[in-house]
Amino acid sequence: MIELIGSALLTGAILSFGFGSVFFALIQSSLDHGYTKGVKMAAGVTVSDILLVFLALVGTSFLPQIPNFEKYFRIIGALLLIGLAIGQFKSFQLPRKVEGTKMMNFLYFFVKGFLLNILNPVNFLTWVAVSAGLKSYAFSFNEELLFFGIAIVTIFISESLIAYFSGRLKRVLNETLMLRVKQVTGIIFICLAAKLLWDALS
């Protein structure tokens, strides 16, 4: 159980600092309109993650019926992680400032976070890989729900903190630092992929 909780916390933290469109839109919105707007964006991201997790759980519900599915889906999960890791080593450029809008109500920022997150196919594939990995280790349905619940709460808290400290983050962010952080994330993905491959082939 402790390992499950630790893995969920790590998953949520890694996904929060993916340095994609959501991360930078969160910082920019918080800088331009106050951190509460960033928290509203984080709420939209959280709701979209709940939907993606539901779809991932439904999509992987048939896996236990496949002979030796544990082996195959650990390998597939490892390949997905390797693909994500390769993406972390690509050159990096900070995005240009996004222009503001007059629609500064809750719905705008909520929907903005929701759409930025759910329209990125990598997010869905990541949750599918996580769900398949959990099933390959024979976790119960309640344990899976606990894992995803902790991961999603971690994402919301982390992104709310990103919004709150956006001013400080903006001052220290530069392309070299971001590339280094992405490379560390890539190494973590590779280590996780190696663990899955080891378990699948041993």
pLDDT in tens, 178-188: 677 667 767 87
- End-to-end CA, the chain: 23
CA-CA distance, 11 to 4, in Å (whole number)?
Answer: 10
Cβ 117 vs Cβ 48: under 8 Å: yes
Rg (CA), the chain: 17
- Contacts for 28 with CB less than 8 Å, ≥ 6 apart: 97, 98
- Contacts for 113 with CB less than 8 Å, ≥ 6 apart: 22, 25, 26, 40, 41, 42, 43, 44, 45, 48
177 pLDDT band (50/70/90 cuts)? low
Q: Say if residue 99's pLDDT is above 50.
A: no
pLDDT in tens, 109-160: 899 889 888 887 778 878 887 887 787 777 788 888 999 999 999 999 999 9
70 pLDDT band (50/70/90 cuts)? low
Q: What value does the mean pLDDT take over residues 100-104?
A: 48
- Supply the mean pLDDT for the chain: 78
- Quote the DSSP letter at residue 63: G
pLDDT > 70 in the chain, percent: 76
Domain ranges of the chain: 2-201
Q: How far is CA 81 from CA 75, 128, 139, in A?
A: 10, 11, 20
Q: How far is CA 169 from CA 26, 27, 102, 112, in A?
A: 11, 8, 25, 21
pTM over 0.85: no
Q: Which of 40, 22, 43 lies closest to 117 in space, CA to CA?
A: 22
Helix/strand/coil for 106: helix
